[in-house]
Every structure is written in structure tokens, then in C-alpha cells.
Amino acid sequence: MNRAPRPEETSRSASSRQAAVWSAFPPLRSLLRLLLLLPVASCGRGEDITPPVVLFGEHECDVCRMIISDDRFAASALRLDARGRTEPVRFDDIGCLLEYERLPGVPPLLARWVSDQATTRWIDADTAYYVHSRLIHTPMAFGLAAFGDPDDADALRRATDGTGMTLDAARALHAAGRLAIPWLDDATDDPSDAEDAGHERHRPAGMTGSRP
């Protein structure tokens, strides 16, 4: 006469069958474990993907170590720290952002923003419109201004006899060593020309304070 299996026997039998399946398909086991970890990794990369706070007049540029004081030309970014958490990176010049991207061994950036010179609001660095001119006097003399509106960019381009470009084009200029503007050493270039070229109308009333 057959007896019914005891609960502990049923449990052991199920465990044995499960172990047999795992041992028979090691790639499947690795795949399932990876899929279980993906949501955790995605959360670490996806949280707080917003521009970091920059305290103008207080925070230092993470490349040149100058105090970030002019919110018309600042840039910011997020990167992952060693524990997989986002941390801010701040720059006083768009050129310093490009400089950071070329530094060896630094963590890659998750997202990057530049200041819209017309509004001093953060805009996506990858989709912004850029103007490069020796008459655009930026903190580290890279001569690069960013805009969210192509009409604003074109107005400054015409006023400064500059060149309109994308971020990738600016990267190429920087890589070739032709982005920095040596206007400080040019006796024929009057720094007031930059204000006459349309900068004054974009200058905010104060340069201190914070911007999210």
C-alpha cells in the first residue's frame, strides 16, 4: 500500500529538482541574476538627473579651481561616484567642461548642462546652440557662449562676427587647441567691445546667489 509523501520529503524533492535545473543551465542562472540586479543599477543611474545647485561666488570650478562667479558662461554636470551615486561637477566656463571630458581617468558624465547666456537658465549642453568668438569674453577665455534659442545665438554671432556651432564642433576645436581666445594679450582688442556686442543686455543684476 502506497503512503502519501511527508511534507519534508516533498520539500526536499522540489529543492532537488530546482537545483538540477540550475546546474543544467548555468547561463540561464547568470542571466536571471543579472536581470534581478538591473532595476537596482537603473535606479542608481536615474535618480536626481537634474542640474546641480551652483552657488555663484562660492563654488569652485572642478577643473581650473577658480570661483564660479559669472552665471552667463557656467556649466555643470553629474557623474557617478565610486559607490554608484550621482555627484555634481561644476565649471566656471564651458571650455572647462570640455577640458574635463578630455582628462584621463575621470568618471564619465551622465548629463551636462550649460548656462543660456540670454536667460542664465540651465539648458541641455548637447542640444544647445553655441557661438564662438574672440569678442566673447568668458572667465577662462574660451570665447564660447550657449543659447537655447537659435535666434539669440544668431544675434550674438552676427554682433561678434563669430561662428555658430554644435557642442561636437566645439569639442573638435578644443581638441585641436583652437578654442581658447588669446584676447587678454591682444592690445588692439578692447574688453568693452564685448559689452557693446550685446553682452550687457544679457548681464544679470547680480552675480552672487544660487541657481538650481
- Residues 160 and 196: beta-carbon distance below 8 Å: no
Mean pLDDT score of the chain, rounded to an integer? 76
Q: What is the pTM of this model?
A: 0.67
DSSP annotation of 146: E
Q: From CA 194, how far away is CA 18, in angstroms rounded? A: 73
- Residues 120 and 204: beta-carbon distance below 8 Å: yes
pLDDT digits (tens, 9 = 90+) for 119-155: 999 999 999 999 999 999 999 999 999 999 999 999 9
Can you give the pLDDT at residue 2?
A: 56
